[in-house]
Amino acid sequence: MKRLVYGLGRSGLGVLAYLQRHGLRAAFYDDKLKPEEAKQALALGFELEPNPTPGHYQQVVAAPGVPLQHPRLQALRQGGAEVIGEAELVYRYSQTPLIGITGTAGKTSCTLFTGHFLRALGFRALEGGNIDPPLASVVDEAEVVAVEMSSFQLERTVHFRPRVAVLLLLGVDHLDRHGSLESYHAAKLNLIKNLTSQDALVYNAQDPKILAGIAHSPARRYPFQPATDPRETNLNAALQAALAYAHIVEREQPGRAWAVEPSQKALEPFRTSAPRPEARYEVFARMGSLHFIDDSIATRLDAVRAALEAAPAPVAWILGGVDKGAPVEELLEVVERKVQLILAVGQDGPRMAAPFSERVQVVEISEPDGRQALRQAVLEARQRLSSGSVLLAPLATSFDQFRDYKERSKVFREVVLELGGTRG
């Protein structure tokens, strides 16, 4: 089969390494090829395709960052190529059972928590997917993998079938990519399209869009109840996911020995030792009566709303980056009630802040360098607020000024501490 890996980065390089381990051939291509990534791909024994020709390839494994509507990708598809993603490729060539986890918010936390509970039960479990590392990098090393799955990954699945599917929340996100809320939700629900009566479905029992989406699924159902605290919600979902998988194993592998009994009561003590993901809502420093809160991962409307509600008022809200198309006007009520100052940073910050300008003070920070922009934002907040909180919940991706949301988080914390913040 003539196969092309389209797009490198974390996912594409993980796919190439996976193909090498499985003795599968491919060429690679990237619209914006980075020399270091090309060097890694060549070292793995793959050839660079300088100009992919429609009709030449039967299969294209596209990185999540390459939209399905990309003209070159569409041309390859029209030329007869099947376009799939990393998850579909891995599903076809590896036998490791997968627990697929998706939702508008909470995916990373739930994935980490699920792996944590699975290991407590005695499974050799790993996490991968949209979370580091890629699924292709860990799938052959584990007995079971908890897989964080974005809508970008799910929109290019075909036969992909997790043994446990977890649906956390269907909210608003990535309208810039999918074009409509319906298309975004349809991509998310691809997670459950191939489930059978032998599989399990863990779902938010209070989300009407999820309840409608799963109405005809034959999978065994494991509902969970959301909590006021998002961490508790994700722990509830992860606990159900781990138990659902344990029940599958009990049916298919009678006599399996367990590290602890697969029951909610037995796993309950492990909740307190669950890992805390990076760059999620955390009060990490103070300057007098001013609290500094890092929620760099908050790029979705629901996550930002929750962060604004939780932050001590008055709030100086650091907003901006690359706009994902969220209807920011839906935050008007909470902004008017909690926010005193908006610090608009990055490529789209000023435009995203414009709907609030008649309700609260907006300071536009035009500094193009990410570190300097955050530094200026902290200085402005410190000057204008004597108490309350400074919240980084950007509602936008970081790619205009940072490598990813983790780097944005790291820089924000460093800047606050450099300017006199004290931890805790």
With a cut of 90, say whether residue 231 has pLDDT above it.
no
With a cut of 80, say whether residue 274 has pLDDT above it.
yes
Share of the chain above pLDDT 90, in %: 83
DSSP code per residue over 301-337: HHHHHHHHHHSPSSEEEEEESEE----GGGGHHHHHH
- Report the CATH number of the 88-273 domain: 3.40.1190.10
DSSP code per residue over 243-309: HHHHHHHHHHSTT---SS-SSHHHHGGGGGGPPPPTTSSEEEEEETEEEEEE-TT--SHHHHHHHHH
- Among 10-14, 245-249, 326-330, top mean pLDDT goes to 245-249
276-292 mean pLDDT:
89
More confident residue, 104 or 356: 356
* Closest to 347 measured CA to CA, from 383, 375, 370, 322: 322
Point out the least confidently predicted range of 93-102, 104-113, 207-216. Answer: 104-113
Fold of the domain spanning 282-423: Protein-Tyrosine Phosphatase; Chain A (3.90.190)
132-146 mean pLDDT:
95
What type of residue sits at position 211? L
Other C-beta atoms lying within 10 Å of the C-beta of residue 80: 12
| C-alpha span between 85 and 100 (Å, rounded) | 14
pTM: 0.80
Radius of gyration of the chain (CA): 22
Q: How confident is the model at residue 374 (pLDDT cuts 50, 70, 90)?
A: very high
pLDDT on residue 28: 98
Q: How confident is the model at residue 177 (pLDDT cuts 50, 70, 90)?
A: low
Structural tokens at position 202: 């863990």
Provide the residue ranges of all domains of the chain, joining segments of one domain with +: 3-84, 88-273, 282-423
Helices (H), 313-399: 332-338, 349-353, 370-384
CATH of 3-84, one of 3.30.10.20, 3.40.470.10, 3.40.50.720, 3.30.420.40: 3.40.50.720
What type of residue sits at position 111? T
pLDDT tens for each residue of 400-420: 999 899 999 999 999 999 999
| C-alpha span between 172 and 325 (Å, rounded) | 9
356-362 mean pLDDT:
95
pLDDT on residue 174: 65
59-80 mean pLDDT:
93
Q: How confident is the model at residue 176 (pLDDT cuts 50, 70, 90)?
A: low
If DSSP codes are grouped into helix, strand and coil, which group holds residue 143? coil
With a cut of 80, say whether residue 278 has pLDDT above it.
no
